[in-house]
Structures are given as C-alpha cells and as structure tokens.
A and B are shown apart, each in its own frame.
Chain A
Amino acid sequence: MTNTWQDIKNANLVLVMGGNAAEAHPCGFKWVIEAKIQNAARLIVVDPRFNRTAAVADYHAPIRPGTDIAFLSGVIRYLLETDQVQHEYVRAFTNASLIVKEGYSFADGLFNGYDAETHSYDKTDWAYELDDQGFAKIDDTWQNPRCVINLMRKHVDRYTPEMVSRICGTPIDKYLYVCQQIASTCLPDKAMTSLFALGWTQHSIGSQNIRTMAMVQLLLGNIGVAGGGMNALRGHSNIQGLTDVGLLSNQLPGYLTMPKDEEQTFDDYMKTRQFKPLRPNQMSYWQNYRKFFVSFQKTMFGDAATAENNWAYDYLPKLNLPMYDIIRAFEMMVHGEINGYICQGFNPLQAFPEKNKIRRGLSKLKYLIVMDPLDTETARFWEDVGPLNPSDPSKIPTEVFQLPTACFAEEDGSLVNSARWLQWHWKAANSPAQAKSDIWIMSAIFHRIRELYRKEGGAFPDPILNLSWKYTDPTNPSPDELAKDLNGKTLADIKDPSGAVVLKAGQQLDSFGQLRDDGTTESGCWVFTGCYTEKGNMMARRDTYDPRDQGITPDWAWAWPANRRILYNRASADVAGNPWNPAKPIIQWNGDRWVGIDVPDYGPTIKPSEGVGPFIMNAEGTGRFFALDQMVDGPFPEHYEPFESPVENLLHPKVQNNPAARVFPDDRADFGTSADFPYVGTTYRLTEHFHFWTKHALINAILQPQEFIEIGEVLANEKGIANNSWVRLSSKRGYMICKALVTKRIKPMMVAGKPTHVIGVPIHWGFTGLAKKGYGANILTPSVGDANTQTPEFKAFLVNVEPSNGPEGEV
C-alpha cells in the first residue's frame, strides 16, 4: 500500500476492483465502512461477480475477467476527453511533459522492438530524448507530439466506451457511471483510494493492470494524498515482509536485485543500478544503491567482505535467466532438472497452477522437505486419494521429510502488514509435540551443510564457510538478534567531514541515511533500518496517538521506510508546498522545512522552489505515465486477452495475448479453446477460510464445509443444473466434481455481441484437514504467468461444466 489501512477512512470514493476486500480482508474493511459513515464516501465495486464487497457497496459494475486494462484505459480516455484531470498535479508531478525518443512506436498490438523468436522486446527506444547534459527534454506546452501526455492520449484513443463495453461486457451506462464517479475525484480536495489484490496480479497482464490504475490515480492527483493511493491488500499476514526481504529468486533484501550472469564484476553490476538523475536537481534515491549493497554484504559475510574482494561480490550466485519462479521450477522438476525441493511454509500441490503437473514434478524428485505447521497435501502428494489425487506410491521414488514447524503464535517475531508496518508479536503458546521454529530448523541445516563443506570442500565453499553467524546461541538465533541484523549497525566509529565522531562503533543505526559504502556499516535490509535502534525495538511500540485523527499513528509499531506512513507524501502539497486538501494535510512547507503528521517522503529542508520532484526513487522525480524500460511488456499498458479466452482480441486479432509472456511448450499444449471449454473460469477465496490452512481448524470447517462452484442462473438453466446439485467442471488440464451454487450474482455479459458466462471456483478444499475432501481449484488452472512477475493466471481461464451424478469412488 502507498497509504495505510486507517487512511482509507479519508477517501471520498473507494474503488474496489481487482480484489474483494470485504471477503478477503474483513478486518481491514472496517476502514471502508468508516469512510462511508464518517466521510460520506461512496463505494464502487467493479468485479465479475456481485460479491460480499458489492453487498455493502453503493454501486456494482460487472466486468469480464482479464479485461481490466481495457476498462481503465477507457477511464483514462474519458478523463482526458472530458478534461477531468488535476492539471497542476499532472504538470508538476508526472512525466506528462517529457519527450520520448522517436524510435518508440505502437502499432497493431505490438510496441517497437519486438522479437517474435524470443517473445521479448528491445527496449532501447522506450526512453526520453536527452539533452547534451543527459537530462530528459521537456515541453511544458504539451505541443510536441512526443510528449508523454500526447503519446498516452493517442494510445488510449482506441478505448472508446463502445469498445470498452464490447471487450469487458460492462453495459455502457454502468461503465460511464463509474467513469463519472472516478472523475469526480479530480478536484484537489477529493480523493479516491484504489483497493486491489490478487484480482489484478493473477493475470498474464497482472503488473500492467496495476499500472493502468496508477496512471488513473496520477491523472486525478490521488497519489501521495490522504484517502488516495494504490493500495495492494496483501494476501498473507507477512507476504509484504517476504517481498521486503527479497525471498524471490531475482531479488536481494530491500528491493536490491540479484546479479546476472553477464554482470561478472562488481562494476558491471553497479553500472545499471545507480540511477543518475534524469532531470536537474532530482534526488534519484537509487544513487545510494552502493551504500545499501555494501552494507548488505557486510551483514552477510562480515569481515570476509572487504574493499579488496569487492565486498564479496563473487560470493553471490549469478542469474542465468530472468528468474527461477514457481512455474519454471516445476517445469524443470517435470524434466528432471531439479532433484530436491525444500518447501517451507508453502503448499504447492494446492497453491500452484495445474495440480496434475505439480504432482508429476514432485513424483520425480529424489527428496522433498516440507517445513509446515500443518499436514499439507504437498507432504502427502504421493498418497492415492482416488480421483482427488490419483497416485501410485509404489512408482514414486521421492523421499519425503516432514519437519513440523511452530506457527506464528508460538514464537516472537515481526510481521509486515499491507501498510508496510513491522509489528512485533510475542509468543502466546508453546509448540505442540516435536514442532520447532523455522529459525531452529534452518540453523540446524546450515550448520550441517557448513560442516560438510568444511570436511569435503567443494567447488566453491567460500560463501557458506564465510557466512557471518554471530549469535548468542548459534543453533537458535533469537528473533531479536535477527531483527537487529536487518536494521544494521556501525562497524567502526563514523566521523563527519570535520573528523568528529558522530556514531560510535557497534551502534544500532537510526536510518538508512547513515549507511556507508566503505564497509563501516552493515544492514541486512536497508528499508528496515530504523526498526531496531539504540532506543530498542521500535516494532514493539503500541501508542495509538493520532495527532489529527487521520489514521497516522507515528508511535504505533514502525513503518518502512523511515517510519513513513504515506509514500510520496510530498505530492499531498502543491508546488508551493501548501496542502491540496487543507482539511486533510499530511506535510507542508512552513518556510524553513517540511512539517506535518508524517515523516516527509522528501528532503526535510528542500525548498519547494528547488523543483525537486516528489517521486524520489525515480530518476526524473516524477510519477510515470510512460514507464520507460521498466516493464517487459510495454511502456504503456495494452489490453491482451488471457491465454485462454472466449473471444479474439478486438483491438488486434493478430496479437491475441501478451506477446512478452513466457510460455513453456508443454504448457501451451495444455491450453484449451472456447470450442471445447466455452465458459470463463475464475478462482477466488471465501471469508470463512484462509487459503488451505483453515480447513484444518474445526470452526472454519464447520462454517464452510464443502467444495462448490458458483454459476449464474441463466447458464444453470441452459445446462439443466439445479442448485445444490453435483456438477463436473473441467478444463483442458483436469476436472473436479463438486456441488453447484446457482446464483443471481453472476450474470452473463455481452462480449463482442455474444453472451459470456463466468463460473466462480473457490479454492479452499483439498484432501487433508477437517473439512470435506475436495479437488482444489488449481486442478483446472493454466501454467502461465504475468510477463513481469510470473504470477500465475488464476483469474481467467476456460472451463466447461456439465451436470454430474456425483463423486466417483470414495470421496
């Protein structure tokens, strides 16, 4: 989230699109209700289904799964056409005026530079025209046709209301009503908040879904302000923390990136990361990348990371591919290229696409280690559970080790919530039986592996042998010690230019501003610096003081970065530094410095007249309508159909799907067509359950006991399916037999002149736990991910449905 849960109450309009906040985030949803009651906010839901959020909304508009970019590009067109944009904000705080290189073009569904062989773009021309000082050229008059604003206007021109309606299936009157409501927040003192979740990410165009909305928000001046923002509601209590500490194959902690194969030297690596300012006076905060990276290496390797060995740069693995995501990992497993798998707090057999392929992959492993508090389906993937999990254990060589772990309530630690708050929690109970903490288990594995390297050597033992491990109990580091590592400390006395000691050696750091690139500081995750200082554990703070009652509580826990609660909050004030909305100011310029209720996301004494942009991580200091080369599938979002779609792409039939998406040949062969699978399937969660965990809890199992799908009345009548009857739901990849809920809440949508039916598939059931056994929705879903992140396309695929006589065999 750019903003916070509490800040939602400041919104004038809450748009829930690409998520189902009431259903999936019932506790946080209280702030939406608060906005309605205390701020007279309107709540609009755009979703294929009339869902639990829609039940308390002022307005619901249906949309076909996978067409959000078309809808939102249409909104951008509407805002430009009706001139309902926040002009001053757009001119000062976005890249609307900057001039793009001549080489950039877009035609018939493809941007310039496409290579059909590699399914990728040469992005060289997705850049600004630079002057001789290396700064982006600008035209404040917006006369130049290659100004970003003009290129954007041209790009979205095809998304007329009629076209949007034909693609999305949203009736024109409903679509235009939503446009009007969104446009009403272009006034400087009005804000819309965008609440989204997996409904946007789980598409082959997931990242661009989100970007399109961010562009809408920039046009309306809704980023950085109270009640505004792009607010990703994270799906797991600590999935934000997972992202922050870089638990992805291509990431290092704090959004640093893994070196690539072609970056063999530290200098190569740094060349593309220390962004120089693209406009005069800009902060371009990534200029400090080297400080963050060197401090990280010092935490990892201690004294072994020196200036002489380039801070142990060679110890880091180098990526030979963009990333090793889950889809690739299981593709490799199926082909025998991965032989062992450590599965920590994850249940791939249930959670990953194409369950049958996942089981095939696991069946080829030599060993599988499952660390989990629960008896997961993945740990029992070999078990023959009839049609629910057909398997022949006698033919599976995989040795499975189950290491029961403590759950979060059985240990101290911190969780990072959607609002980037690191909140400390305290152990509430002992773990049952032989369960151990993840820290204890990982430490034990580490010590044994290090011992093996010590005794037997190996191709390159140095990184393991030199890993810094200075904990009081090396077999079980305490959560406090690990948190202090992430925060960072000084390794020598730190002096200012005059030679005076400003920080003594061994001192916990207060802020990432203190980090050095000379090896005198260390920090495991620079964005967390400040969470555990000499003053103690800042994450454990519990003061509800809220100076303006705007939902900003600076002394409750600690938010990264720098305890900042609202990102880009410089943009909450106009060019002169006065709040756009005087009733809900965040920070403002008082003549000497920036003051207010939040930590400025800006230099605290930078004068407004210096023209430093509020988007300090971007080299040009502005928000981007044109994304330069940061997205693999285009600098502007474009509507591409899901890989399984009931219609051809109305905009460019020859470029049906995201041309930059990676699809493995076997997976492509497993895509179905609308001739065999005429209906659109979409998967989702229900309030009563959390993923595949709570079916192990009795009360949750009672409250939602059995697998079912949701199907509209019209389709049910066509197919002769009665409510609460058995159905067989199938895709090219598998089938499930379950009960049908026939509902008025899903209606056919007219897409390209044809009625299109959506079938909803809740995900929660499997073959372990206390609830009734089920197949699990991912027996149906396709193995293809977002072109940028490889997040699987769970939200739009093709299925068929037929009445059924009920379960086959024992269920």
Chain B
Amino acid sequence: MTNYQSQNYIRISATTITPPVARNYEASMAKLIDVSRCIGCKACQAACMEWNNLRQPVGLFDGTLKNPPDLDPEVWTLMRFAEYEDDKGNLEWLIRKDGCMHCEDPGCLKACPAPGAIVQYENGIVDFISENCIGCGYCLKGCPFNIPRISEVDLKSYKCTLCSDRVAVNLEPACVKACPTGAILFGTKKNMTDWAGERVEDLKSRGYEHAGLYDPPGVSGTHVMYVLQHADKPTIYSNLPDNPRISPTVDFWKGLIKPVSLAGIAAAAIAGFMHWVIAGPNEAQPEDEDAAEHLIEAKAKSPPPPGGGGKPQRTEPVEPPV
C-alpha cells in the first residue's frame, strides 16, 4: 500500500529492473503469533481497522464467533475459531489470527504479471502497490494461504501490509501494539525464532509434546510465524496448510521460461550484476494458464524448485534496528 521507495526492496513483480544494492543493512523482520497466548479478543482486528481505515459494513452472524465472515478488501486480518477434539475427547478451542504470512518466497509476487504491483522489502515484508495493480487475481492463485482479496469497487488486490508504513519508521504493526496478552510480537526474525523456542519448551512442559514453530520451508519460511500447540497438525487451526507451497502452475511457468531467465542472467553478468536477477512469469498470457494446468496434471507432482529466483544473499546485521 505504501510507496515502495520508503524502504529498500529486493523483489518487484513482473520486471527486470534491478533493485539498488546500497543501503542494505536491514534486518529480516518477523511477526510471531503465539496461538497458546491468544484469547481471541479481536483487538488486533480493531487496531488493523483503525490504522488502515478499514470499515466493512455491519454484517450478520454466520454461525461462529468469527466476524466479519472472511478476509476481504476491507478485512486484512481475521480471528478464526476452531473447536478441536482429539481422539480421547479432550476439547481445545484453537484461535488463529489469519492474514498475510509474508512468505520469504512469495507466490503472489511470482505470479503477478503487473510490473511493480507487488514488491518485497529487504526486511521481508511483501507489499501490494495498489496503483500498479491490474486486478487480475493471479496473486490469489499464487498464494498458498488464500489471502489476497480483489475489491469489487476498484478491482485492486488487498491484504495485510504488515504495517509497512509503521515498520518503516520503527513502529511495530498496529495489531502487535494492540494485543493485550502479548500473543503477537514483532522483532527480528532471529529474535522471534529464539523466543518461539522458549515458548515451545514451556508448552512441552505443559504436555503439548508436538508444540512447535510454524515457519514453513515450502515457501522458504515466512515473516509471520505461529507458535502452535500442535505443530504436527497445522490444519486443525482452521486449515492452516500443513506444507504450503507455491501453486505448481506458477512454478511450472518459471520452468518453461528458464531460457529467458538465463538470458537475463547473461545480460546481468555483462552489466556486472551477476548476483541479482529477477525473473517472473510476466510474459505469460492469461489464456495460457489453462493449457499449463493440463500439462501439470500430466507432469504429476514433481517437487517445486527451491527458493525464489535470483534473490541476493544478505548479511544479517549485528544489532537489530527495531
């Protein structure tokens, strides 16, 4: 949502423009959502609505405590409530704050055909730049978490920005600030991972033997992570994917245009930017999608290529900036 020049970016959708490499001493950041501390009060939802000026019309009860009923261009985060009973009949009420996971390897960005509509900042935040969005919906197709929503009003795609505007000026995201129980924390990915480790130990001491951190490798990790009591069964948390991966359609197109990527690498080498390449499916036409899906079915389920294309290695700073 913000002007992406306010922060260093490392990827831009559908473009071969090379991001700048100076000023790159920025830590990888993450939001940690500790489901075991969450009381489902929706303060995060209220804070998100206030900071981002989002107001859905007053809706209707839909059979759950979840309100509004789903993510929406006006709803960027949502508490989902799941009643889970194990085979011994022990009941748990698993409340998960849903929203963009800010994948390290963002499927939305890879799938996006609109130049500059989706960017990833050096701190890991994946942001939608509305003025460049063409409303095609490919980002939704590329997202393994079913997050972006297209507005019927302006035909642009919307989702959580991880408050990139706040983070850019060293503030925590609005939901983090509002959370009364400290169930949502924000900091460097390293700090958040370390703290999650302590939380997992505590949960194990309370009998949750499969407690763990949700930082799925299928998308090279995420910048929104969960502490789960049952990390072996993410789907019990309102269908959090067990092993999220970028849609094979998106990855298939990446394979098909590999020669183009290589050409790009060659050009970059000449220019002296051997380490930096952005390649995307921007040449793909929408009508090719169907054909690709047929091809994929034949190709069965080959493992996805690791990581994103051409992302530069970055050095972790010693001191976290936030």
List the interface of chain A (C-beta within 8 A of B).
22-23, 26-27, 29-30, 33, 36-37, 40, 50, 52-56, 58, 60, 686-688, 698-708, 723-724, 739, 741-745, 770-772
Contact = CB atoms under 8 A, between A and B. Distances in A.
A744 B85 contact: yes
Contact of A702 (B59, B63, B85, B93): B59
A745 B46 contact: no
A44 to B, nearest CB: 12
B41 interface: yes
A34 B77 CA distance: 25
Given A55-B95, A56-B36, A703-B67, A698 B182 contact: no
23 contacts: A22-B181, A23-B39, A26-B180, A26-B181, A30-B182, A33-B37, A52-B39, A55-B38, A55-B40, A56-B36, A56-B37, A58-B206, A686-B65, A688-B42, A699-B55, A701-B58, A704-B65, A705-B58, A705-B60, A743-B83, A745-B91, A772-B58, A772-B61
Nearest to B42: A703
Contacts of A29: 39, 180-181
A810 to B, nearest CB: 16
A22 B39 contact: yes
B62 interface: yes
Interface in B45-74: 45-46, 49-50, 55-65, 67-68
Given A29-B180, A698-B55, A705 B67 contact: yes
B43 interface: yes
A611 to B, nearest CB: 44
B43 A26 contact: yes
Nearest to A60: B91
Report the 5 A-B pairs with minimum CB-CB distance, sorted nearest first: A724-B63, A706-B61, A22-B39, A55-B93, A26-B41
B58 A702 contact: yes
Contacts of A702: 49, 55-59, 67-68
Given A30-B180, A699-B46, A704 B67 contact: yes
Contacts of B57: 702
A50 B199 CA distance: 23
Nearest to A704: B67
A720 B40 CA distance: 29
Interface in B102-142: none
A741 B63 contact: yes
Contacts of B206: 58
A33 B183 CA distance: 9
Contacts of A23: 39, 41
B202 interface: yes
A743 B65 CA distance: 11
Given A37-B37, A687-B40, 19 more contacts: A22-B181, A29-B39, A30-B182, A33-B181, A36-B202, A50-B93, A52-B95, A56-B36, A60-B91, A687-B39, A688-B42, A699-B49, A702-B57, A702-B67, A704-B65, A706-B60, A724-B63, A741-B65, A743-B83
Given A33-B182, A50-B91, A724 B39 contact: no
A53 B43 CA distance: 16
Contacts of A30: 180-182
A126 B42 CA distance: 50
Contacts of A699: 46, 49-50, 55
B180 A27 contact: yes
A482 B60 CA distance: 46
Contact of A687 (B36, B42, B61): B42
Interface string B75-94: 00000000101000001111
A739 B61 contact: yes
Contacts of B67: 688, 702-705
Interface of B: 36-43, 45-46, 49-50, 55-65, 67-68, 83, 85, 91-95, 180-183, 199, 202, 205-206
A741 B66 CA distance: 11
Contacts of B40: 52, 55, 687
A703 B61 contact: no
A703 B180 CA distance: 17
A56 B62 contact: no
Contacts of B68: 702
A400 to B, nearest CB: 27
Nearest to B199: A37
A690 B286 CA distance: 49
A713 to B, nearest CB: 9
Nearest to B207: A58
Nearest to B92: A55
Contacts of A688: 41-42, 67
A520 B187 CA distance: 60
A741 B36 CA distance: 24
Contacts of B58: 698, 701-702, 705, 770-772
A54 B85 CA distance: 14
A475 B55 CA distance: 42
A772 B60 contact: yes
Nearest to A747: B91
A686 B64 CA distance: 13
A686 B85 CA distance: 23
A301 B46 CA distance: 49
A739 B65 CA distance: 12
Contacts of B63: 723-724, 739, 741-742
A277 to B, nearest CB: 45
B172 to A, nearest CB: 16
A739 to B, nearest CB: 5
A115 to B, nearest CB: 47
B99 to A, nearest CB: 15
B198 to A, nearest CB: 9
Nearest to A762: B65
B97 to A, nearest CB: 13
A57 B62 CA distance: 27
B49 to A, nearest CB: 5
Contacts of B183: 33
Contacts of B38: 55-56
Most A CB within 10 A of own CB, among B42, B199, B202: B42
B48 to A, nearest CB: 10
B213 to A, nearest CB: 16
Contacts of B65: 686, 704, 741
A739 B60 CA distance: 10
Nearest to A32: B181
B306 to A, nearest CB: 36
A710 to B, nearest CB: 9
A724 B62 contact: yes
Contacts of A707: 61
A741 B64 contact: yes
Most A CB within 10 A of own CB, among B39, B94, B202: B39
Contact of A708 (B37, B61, B83, B95): B61
Nearest to A770: B58
Nearest to B95: A55
Contact of B93 (A687, A703, A745, A771): A745
A127 B58 CA distance: 59
B46 A26 contact: no
Nearest to B205: A40
Contacts of B56: 702
Nearest to B36: A56
Contact of A54 (B62, B93, B181, B205): B93
A789 B42 CA distance: 34
Contacts of B92: 55
Contacts of A772: 58, 60-61
B41 A687 contact: yes
A624 to B, nearest CB: 35
A500 B192 CA distance: 65
A37 B180 contact: no
A231 to B, nearest CB: 17
Contacts of B49: 699, 702
Contacts of A54: 93
A687 B60 CA distance: 17
A46 to B, nearest CB: 15
Contacts of B43: 26
A702 B36 CA distance: 26
